[in-house]
Amino acid sequence: MKSCEGYSLVETAIVLLVAALLIGGVFSGMTLQRSSQLQTMMKEYDTYVKAISEFQTKYNALPGDMGGVAGGPGGYDPATMWGATDGDGDGRIGSSTTAGVLSNQSEWFQAWKHLAAAGFIQGSYTGSGPPSVVKGVNSNVPSSAVKGAGWSVLFYLFPNNGTNSDGSGGALWMDNYGHILTLGAPNASTGYTSDPSLSTSEASAVDAKMDDGLPGTGKIRAWRTSRLPGCTVNDNTSQSTPTYATGGSSALTCSLVFIPGF
């Protein structure tokens, strides 16, 4: 029979040890879950790049941009085929100018509707913005396995104007990006998914696994500090000098820009 004087030191130590193991198991599970999200996210990128490429091969046009005058290239008409809005057929998903002005945003969202309607990706999309990453029928951009994040696709081209800035406040290093896919939380003002959804260590790990591990070069970039403070450091000079501001913080300060090359 147990003494009514309370638990012994040994019993108390055992209770504390069990509690510590349980807490440790929870955090370990959370880490594994997050790792799984990041792995799935990288596969999502490959899926969407492949889907856009196959769509372009089949219809001789880019999703979202397909259509325009007389049904666009190949005579295909998204409005007739899928009840979707025609694009302008200029070979770009959206438009940009040397002043850093992004426009024709309807094509950014119609792209996902075209891809899904043609059977190249799963889901059902509204074809209009600003971005929402809610899964299901009412989603207008694909949601990611990364919690709260989604994908956007758009054209982002800025010819050399003699600076490191893209002409829109230095959000990205000046470069001929072409089409990009952005992974992040929705941002209503910019019209695409560019708000933070990754920690600096997560962004750095993804960049290192898929590219060169540097936020200013390669096919994976991070937004500059003028757009997302806290994600990178040393980004006030050449685009080859910045690094991810890794320091053990779990705060979500980064989103990523992927340059697929189409």
| pLDDT, tens only, 159-187 | 444 344 444 446 787 777 889 999 999 99
Alpha carbon distance 159, 188 (integer Å): 26
Q: Which residue has the higher pLDDT, 141 or 29?
A: 141
Q: Which residue has the higher pLDDT, 257 or 134?
A: 257
Task: Work out the widest C-alpha separation in the chain, in whole angstroms.
Answer: 91
Amino acid (one-letter) located at 75: G
Residue matched to tokens 């594994």:
32
Prediction pTM value: 0.83
pLDDT digits (tens, 9 = 90+) for 102-150: 778 899 999 999 999 999 999 989 999 889 887 655 589 999 999 999 9
Pick from 21-30, 137-146, 194-203 the range whose average pLDDT is largest.
194-203
| Confidence (pLDDT) at 30 | 45
> Does pLDDT of 28 surpass 50?
no
Tokens of 89: 């057929």
| Confidence (pLDDT) at 120 | 97
Q: Which residue has the higher pLDDT, 190 or 1?
A: 190
Contact 194, 226 (CB under 8 A): no
Residue % of the chain over a pLDDT of 70: 77
Terminal alpha carbon distance of the chain: 76
> Does pLDDT of 3 surpass 60?
no
pLDDT digits (tens, 9 = 90+) for 139-152: 899 999 999 999 99
**Structure confidence at residue 240 as a pLDDT band (50, 70, 90):** confident
Q: What is the DSSP string of 125-149?
A: --S-SS-----STT-SS-B-SSTT-
Q: What are the extents of the domains in the chain? A: 41-69+77-258
Burial of 231 (0-12, 13-18, 19+ CB in 10 A): buried
Mean pLDDT calculated for residue range 28-45: 84
> Does pLDDT of 215 surpass 50?
yes
| Confidence (pLDDT) at 32 | 85
Contact 93, 153 (CB under 8 A): yes
pLDDT digits (tens, 9 = 90+) for 57-99: 999 999 999 986 555 556 788 888 888 888 888 899 998 765 5
| Confidence (pLDDT) at 2 | 46
Mean pLDDT calculated for residue range 221-226: 90
Tokens of 213: 């591990």
> Does pLDDT of 44 surpass 70?
yes
Residue % of the chain over a pLDDT of 90: 47
> Does pLDDT of 157 surpass 90?
no
